[in-house]
Structure 1
Amino acid sequence: MERYDNVSDEELIARLRKGETGIADYLLEKYKGLVRQKARAMYLIGGDTDDLSQEGMIGLFKAVRDYQPDREASFMTFARMCIDRQLYSAVQNSNRQKHIPLNHYVSLSNEDEEEPVIEQWVANPESIIIGKESIRDLQDKIAGSLSPMENKVLNYFLSGKTYAQIGEAMGKSPKSIDNALKRIRVKVREELDKYGK
């Protein structure tokens, strides 16, 4: 696997199309952390982390299968979009009848805001703008409902750190981090309930 470390994703995809084996497995392994990070963010709005991780891996697999190097977007951008779409679809399908606010993908991390809107394959540009404004508004409300300590825990959690790593960084026990995340989930759900009314 190390033999691919210094090769661009786009070149790897081109080599994969020519029949070189092992590349798909390498790319799936390389981006597994990104899938976990996105699945953890979605878990906060009512998903099951393992199920969402599997859905995210399906999205990543589709990215490997469908990416076209001649397009303007990089493979990483395309992979993020495919993972997001798969996660959004999974949450939307599982919650269609339960909670209307949960049918909307809400990213609690800042990483998606760095992507140009044009790179998100959505048919209606107006809905992209309105959706992004609504998400930012919801993110602000959620951040405002959390204590400074909870906001810090949430940021560490969304960056992929374990309870032990967060506890060590903040000088707290893993149990207190677990309790903080439970409080965060409750507050996020409360804000989502208000948001849907």
Structure 2
Amino acid sequence: MKKYDQCLDQELLIKIRSGDDEAMEYLMEKYRGLVRTEARKFFLTGGDEEDLIQEGMIGLFKAVRSYQEERDAAFSTFATICVRRQIYSTVTASNRKKHGPLNNYISIFGSFTEENGKLNEVLEDSLENPEELLLRKEKIRNYYDIINEKLSDYEKQVMEHYLNGDDYTQIAKKLGRTDKSIDNAIQRIRRKLNQDS
């Protein structure tokens, strides 16, 4: 790959268009640092930096395929725009899907008595026999116990707002925290609850 060290981007693009896979590999590697830099500027809910880097590399690939020399922009400028757009589109799409309210949920902060309205609403809709109903109530109580035992008060607050359909930004405003803090809390909640499921 050292044979490409002296090549300008325009020369590499010509080689790539003539089918030189090594030139493509070299150019992608050359711009990996740019992709990393752009990825660090964004935050992907439920994802990590590597996910954003992969999206950025897709944007870079698109830039290679669609760059036109006759335009008055250097390839590096065009590549930066394509990478940024790809990452931004991914983050935006992720946020739209991620924050829709859940279809079914149970309040995690009611009392755990049988008089608890929300608990009974969930259970009364079922056509289960009394034994299945009792087992289901017990399972729900156990889940509440796990929540109370494993989660901090802050995590319980975040979870309640999340289950009520609030997105990360809304939760952050209500609790006086950052979006990143809310995302971290939700990741911890998932990790803690998945240990017992």
Please give the range of the TM-score, normalised by the shorter of the 2 chains. 0.3 to 0.5
Q: Which has the larger radius of gyration?
A: 2
The structure with the largest helix share of the pair is 1
Greater RCO, CA 8 A, separation 6+: 1
